[in-house]
Structure 1
């Protein structure tokens, strides 16, 4: 299996990646608490459109190493940089979903745009989730504290419940099958408990507003207006205002996991953006 080794941290860490297709590279950064497996509907669509699709597992998740430390966005951005440098990728489009949007933002401010052609934020945590005096539109910190408590108490039970919210599953709403819910739980349980817990702090407490200010490449923002995990008012709508010239696509009734529940719409918009039609 293909791996990239990150040597810039105290403990060398190997990151699993997969790729398909040829052409200009598109690098996918997955959300919490999943892995690169979540991009299965995008990888083929992007490759069929004439691009090279690459997705990797974040440290602590999927088939990458599960180190005891390094679950912060500076390290995540350096991991992403290691993937780009090791594979010598240039003219790249970065696609970050949920907490993966944080990697995109921090990478751009920390490593610059020399290798980057454009960026996509999908259901992303940016610009800043945690509610506070200087961020009154954010999410209350008690939400994240409760998440961590439930993860410590019984991780499978919490992730099963979270998965339903993730996909917008309810009594009258069934956007995905039980098989999809079950397989996503299996993927989520492949992550280390330490990484799963630490990442809650990372994506909830990291302020990306200064990182966002450094983005000067074409930017596409996609978010569902029924996202119960990361409310659109606290994220995408603010993000669009803070990145001059960015394009915001709002999906009516879409939940957090729109790359799966609304995969045809998402793939159409992503490919159009890659081809310069958006």
Structure 2
């Protein structure tokens, strides 16, 4: 599981550490107002951590993310925000019995680390948490060399 949303992103009574629903409502509003700009702003900023001091944005990566976003259906993307933010995976994670590597950057501005990676690993019967200091949500792209090596090591173990 790499920088994934489980167990639950939205704040609820049973998930007080989640993000307020207004965060996701705002994402939907941005998407609805100007889809093309939305798919430019997210990768140019928080998704890959390009908004951090000293970060060097990779225009090819940003444009590729934009291309992928614009190829999808607008309604599916709009509805997808509800799906990824409000689906509670808690009980599903408890049922997984195979070893699972949970990889998450502690500077993930899309899926906050504290309310996802450690909680998911704890819920999994055989979960192993690997935390990446300073890595963004898009770490499989920005740090592919490290992520791929760690995946291979886990698969071989």
| TM-score interval, smaller chain | over 0.9
Seen in structure 2, the aligned counterparts of structure 1 residues 198 and 177 have a Cα distance that, compared at 3 Å, is same
Higher normalized strand content (fraction of residues) = 1
> Deviations along 1:71-130, whole A, 9 cap, x unmatched?
xxxxxxxxxxxxxxxxxxxxxxxxxxxxxxxxxxxxxxxxxxxxxxxxxx0000001111
Superposition TM-score, scaled by structure 1 size: 0.54
In structure 2, C-alpha distance between the alignment counterparts of 1:209 and 1:144, rounded to whole Å = 20
Q: Could you tell me which runs of 5 or more consecutive residues in structure 1 were left unpaired when the two chains were aligned.
A: 1-120
Off by >3 Å, runs of 4+ in structure 1: none
Secondary structure of 2:110's aligned partner = coil
Higher normalized helix content (fraction of residues) = 2
Given the alignment of the two structures, is residue 254 of structure 1 paired with residue 135 of structure 2, yes or no?
yes
In structure 2, C-alpha distance between the alignment counterparts of 1:172 and 1:178, rounded to whole Å = 17
Aligned counterparts, 1:111-126, within 5 A:
121-126=1-6
Which of the pair has the greater relative contact order for Cα pairs under 8 Å at 6+ separation? 2
> Deviations along 1:158-194, whole A, 9 cap, x unmatched?
1211112101002633354112111211111111101
Given the alignment of the two structures, is residue 238 of structure 1 paired with residue 116 of structure 2, yes or no?
no
Does the 8 A contact of 2:94 with 2:125 survive in 1? no
1:220 aligns with one of 72, 76, 101:
101
> Deviations along 1:175-234, whole A, 9 cap, x unmatched?
541121112111111111011111001011111111111100011000000001000101
In structure 2, C-alpha distance between the alignment counterparts of 1:271 and 1:145, rounded to whole Å = 38
Q: How many residues align?
A: 156
Look at both structures and tell me which one has the larger radius of gyration over its CA atoms. 1
Given the alignment of the two structures, is residue 162 of structure 1 paired with residue 11 of structure 2, yes or no?
no
Does the 8 A contact of 1:123 with 1:230 survive in 2? yes
Does the 8 A contact of 1:167 with 1:175 survive in 2? no
Superposition TM-score, scaled by structure 2 size: 0.95
Q: CA deviation at 1:261?
A: 0.8
